[in-house]
Amino acid sequence: MGSDYLRYPHIHGNRVAFVAENDVWVASLDGGRAWRISALQLPARNPRFSPDGSTIAWTVVQGGAPEVVAADVEGGNFRRLTFWGHQSTRVKGFTSEGDVLATSAFRQEDSRLSWAYRVPLDGTASSVVPLGPVDTVVDGPALGDEKPVVIGSVLTREPAWWKRYRGGTAGKLWMDSDGRGDFVRFLPELDGNLSDPMWIAGRVAFLSDHEGHGNLYSADRSGGDLRRHTDHDQFYVRHASTDGTRIAFESAGELWYLPTLDADAIRLSVTLGSASTTRRPQPLAVERHLAAAVPTSDGSASIVEAHGTLHWLTHKDGPSRVVEATPGVRARLGRPIDRSRVAYIADVDGEEALYVRDVFAPADGEAAADQSEPTGRSEHAGSQHVGPEHAGPGRNGAELNGSESDGDGVQVLPAPVSALSLSDGPHRPYDDGASGGASDEASDTAPGGGDAGSRARLEQPDDGAAGPEAALVDAQSALPRSSLQRFTFEGRFRASAVAVSPDGSRIAVPSETGSLELLTVATGESRRVVSTEHGVIEAVTFSHDSAWLAWAEPMAQEGARSRIRLASASAPDEIIDVTDGRFRDWSPTFSRDGKYLAFLSDRSFDPVYDTHRFDLSFPASTKPHLVALAAGTPSPFGPRAALTGGDTDRNGGRGSSGAPGARGAAGSAGSEGRDGEEPPATVVVDPDLIMARTIAVPVAQGTYDDLRAVDGALLWTAGDIGGVTGEGRASSSDGEPARRLERFDLERRKVEVLAADIDAYEVSRDGATAVHMSSGKVTAIPTDGATDTDSPKRVEVGLQRIRVSLDPVRVWRQAFEEAWRLQRDFYWTEDMAGVDWHGVRERYLPLVDRLGSHDDLVDVLWELHGELGTSHAYVAPALVGEAGGHQGFLGAEFAPARDGWAVTRIFEAESSDPLAASPLSAPGVAVRAGDVIEAIDGVPVPARFGPSVLLTGAAGVAVELTVRPGDGKERRRVAVVPLRSEERLRYQNWVAANRAIVQRASDGRFGYLHIPDMVANGWGQLHRDLDRETTRDALVIDVRRNRGGHTSQLVAELIGRRVTAWSMPRGETPGTYPAHAPRGPVVVLTDEFAGSDGDIITQVVKLRGIGPVIGTRTWGGVIGIDGRFKLADGTGVNQPRYGFHVTGGVGWSIENYGVDPDIEVPFPPHAYAAGEDPQLEHGVGILREMLAEIPTDVPPLKQGYPSRKPGSLPPRPQDLRD
């Protein structure tokens, strides 16, 4: 079947325009075949007919951001109308004069606060609609001299994406009933999320969910006679638009229209009139989607993970071989077991399970020459073969269709769930008449529930395409009948790691829910070693003799503390605590000689003084440590007694022969290693007093991670200590500080760098090879020392040898299923707060097969998450854009002038913020207001369009400006580097303007501080002027527009300080104790855009009595997230995981409501139009009143202190001589 997920309708005459498959289409209102208006294949939004119906304007991604474009309805004349370079840009309609009405925050200090602009169709300069932040503006029918206007307030997200939202930014309608500029709330009594206002038949129509479901309503212009016009209770009515007499909308990807307000809605039956390109199989771009590379035991190859597929790829040459690439299946955490088998996690049947596959099993009918019998249930090798589509729910050991189960949670699936890539050998697709083929024996239920029909649809080639592309994709799940084992675990399960014992007999699988499972491959027996409620177990490792298992187990939320634990692989119930959980201990690894267990620990308490405030911190408190496992094992860094003759230590190793940590002698006599390798040293563990045998590795404290032991050395990653925001880097264009792969030689006690810039690395089982990833590339290097970049020992692995195709439709289905499962398993309360989550899946699943683009998938995932009615249920796809750079900005405003465009304003730089400086103010440039930009890179600035059209793709790139000075001096040429965004520059100017308002209104007595968020950026902004502003008599603290984060507890402690003493030096200004304590009364400003941690700081201010809160009710979203999970293509999907309960009688009430201010002061549209800030003005007025009653703390006079002058020396007592 083809795609028919249709969005953003608008009607004119007998035509409807809409978006499908990342393009704009037009069809007849009578239905039938649509024709394509655009062919850009980039996310498009909001097509709107011009008033005469000849033109369509819409937004589409251009150069990394949506821009306003237009084209003729009859075809051709495509033109780009804006060069705003901002993600917020949206088309909203047309003005009566024929200009496009668009909204964008490209000229604002906050990217959420979109203003409306009139954009002429000829591309000439746009003009602002001066009504402040809006989602839309609609003019009503004139009644005499009265010209009513309705404004829809800015929405933080679509109503369908947070259903039943009631917080501070819930959509509001404002009406100016006569067009004179004074706005009042329209229908303020409706407790819902109102959006998409429209004038129709003298009434105001709009969308609202005040009755619990998103539907279409209307009211007369006075707000009376409220009517509901639709009755959708399964999916929200969305994206409503009108031509003045009729209304079009979408729901669940279907188009509807309402002929009149008195009629029933009619669903449009539209088909797309061209072959879909977005649903065709696409080659996998491995470098773009590279997720992991894990070397095999001898380091000659790696298991490469990319976009949910796994591949066995030799390092130097040869073809790749697919481990798993079944369409519609995500595989991850691939780990080699031996020279032919791989263990991995996959969701073949809609739930995750552990699989073991022999990658080099012979093809059907081929001899198994030179192939060792894999460990496991080989007696099932002759069983019936079935494809992955036969696998039913099969969870927790349930039997799969056509497979056998041994009752211990293991199923042997001779059927392939692997894939055939183009570089595999001459394998033929699976076709066995005895089994009836895949389509004949589909299971009764789809993976994880659902109907068989939906699963069957998923497995069929798209649009009936039975050509080579579809055949290739299907062949990827039709490999030879190799033995494949499947292991399941009890309860909800998502693996956080996979660790394979060196002998391949056991696999340890920790889960995201805090359990650690230990599986015996041969029998399928699984034992739960431990389970914790404190978080996720991630780091698990086996000793090199496969006898011991070690892991890091969290002891407090968010990994604040963790302990290293140890257990025998054969008797895992007997757990040994290697550390006690007082500190954060992690990344355990056994030394190659079996004598030590190494780990990383944050137990260095050598603080660093802060340079901006009186504070101490521990920015790099990590050090590697060793634990001597046997009581008689000495420290490798301490003195040793000489051994005589044949003396050996308890581990069987020569006491001082070889480097410490090098592989020792064999364990028991006569033992042999696998494949002729030297047998591993036997590990001996003495549990008594094991914690006392902890040894610090002699290196400086630092930011170490990812510890691994190799022969005679330890490997780890390390990086320089740097800031979080990046403002402290040498240049604002510098990237994140690189992590280094370092090697510490245990004998020489020296550190050397093996790789200078890596993202992650893994070590082969023999310890000789490290494979690291960096910027989508994979490199194999030896671990015995540093190598030159041109050394033959350093191998750049050719990822281009991995060639496999992805079927978008089945990829989208898997992504949907995984996103649904993640919410099911990790939403903060198991009962899903009363939402029937399984029922939600059944409702939404049929939509997935109708999708026409990844953008459609993102839309469905957003609406799926919206069913939770909870904050922070985000979907974050990678930004999509065409080739080329980002729009450049000059940090200034312009107006047309003779032979160019004149600079009307240059935004003043903030010297402490490298992102807040206009290129025109750079040294040597010295452009001033009044100067004219005549040309850019020698091209004259178009008189109609301005300089922005010549700055396309210029962000971060040097350009030449030809400048004619306004004072008549000779024109000159200067080089500048345009900004990618002016937001920070405009923000710093907004803060400075607010501070100036406060100081003018208080004669310099009041201070002003703005906190834009509760992460590192906001913490830095708070401290920019903290010292100066807290010395004033009173203080305005502004948390409006606060984006949230996690630092509210730090901010609350700082702004809640009270002066309790004074430091009184001679010749210097007295200082407060504690430092930076406000000296007088405080007021706090908040608004509907203060959310998450912005909600919390507002509530804490009220609870602690820091000062009165002034403004409007906050956003109302406090259920926290950790951003832990991504889908196979890198799309981020957040699960609200951390419920938030506040003391003082507040309870759970902040979520989906917000925090009420003590003094409510709205910010109506006409205040923006007048350039006023009623909230700031009111705050200053309240401070004046408070200051009259609460005097400012001032230092005492230097009087009244005790005199230290000694008294007169009294006479000695009279000598008694007689």
β-pairing, 1082-1086 vs 1109-1111, is parallel
Whole-Å CA distances, 48 to 99, 124, 127, 637: 11, 19, 19, 74
pLDDT tier, 679 (very low <50, low <70, confident <90, very high otherwise): confident
* Contacts for 1008 with CB less than 8 Å, ≥ 6 apart: 991, 994, 995, 998, 999, 1029, 1035, 1036, 1038
pLDDT of residue 410: 41
Q: Give pLDDT, residue 63.
A: 84
44-49 and 32-36 beta bridge pairing: unpaired
Distance CA 385, CA 391 (A): 12
User: What pLDDT shows up at residue 675?
Assistant: 54
Across-strand partners of 130? none
Q: Compute the average pLDDT of residues 1040-1062.
A: 97
Residue 973 burial (C-beta neighbours within 10 Å; 0-12, 13-18, 19+): exposed
- State which amino acid sits at residue 682: T
Catalytic residues: 872, 1092, 1151
Name the band, by pLDDT with cuts 50, 70 and 90, for residue 558.
Answer: confident
Closest residue by Cα to residue 544 from 599, 600, 601, 596: 596
3-state secondary structure of 756: strand
Q: Residue 536 has which token pair? A: 């996720």
**Three-state DSSP state, 541:** strand
Q: Which amino acid does the sequence have at 8?
A: Y
pLDDT surpasses 90 at 1168: yes
Domains present along the chain, CATH in parentheses: 37-131 (2.120.10.30), 282-364+382-502 (no CATH), 547-636+682-722+737-764 (2.130.10.10), 892-979 (2.30.42.10), 984-1117+1152-1189 (3.90.226.10)
The predicted-structure confidence for 906-958, as pLDDT tens digits, reads as follows 999 999 999 999 999 999 999 999 999 999 999 999 999 999 999 999 999 99
Angle between helices 808-826 and 837-848 (to 10 degrees): 170
Work out the angle at residue 1102's Cα, subtended by the Cα atoms of residues 1099 and 1106, and round it to the nearest 5 degrees. 125
User: Which H or E run contains 596?
Assistant: strand 596-601
Q: Which two tokens stand for residue 134?
A: 């809006």
Longest CA–CA span in the chain (Å) reads 139
Regarding pTM above 0.85, the answer is yes
Could you read off the pLDDT of 681-704 as tens digits, one per residue?
999 999 999 999 999 999 999 999
Number of CB atoms found within 10 A of residue 251's CB: 21
H-run or E-run covering 554: strand 548-554
User: What is the reported pLDDT for 676?
Assistant: 55
Taking 80 as the threshold, does the pLDDT of residue 1109 lie above it? yes
**DSSP H or E segment with residue 449:** none
Residues in the chain: 1218
Tens of pLDDT, residues 1127-1139 = 999 999 999 999 9
pLDDT of 671: 41
Tokens 């700081």, residue located: 1097
Instruction: Give yes or no for a contact between 172 and 196, defined as CB atoms under 8 angstroms apart.
Output: no
> Does 477 score more than 80 pLDDT?
no
Query: What percent of the chain is predicted at pLDDT more than 90?
Result: 79
User: What are the pLDDT digits (tens) for 510-544?
Assistant: 999 999 999 999 999 999 999 999 999 999 999 99
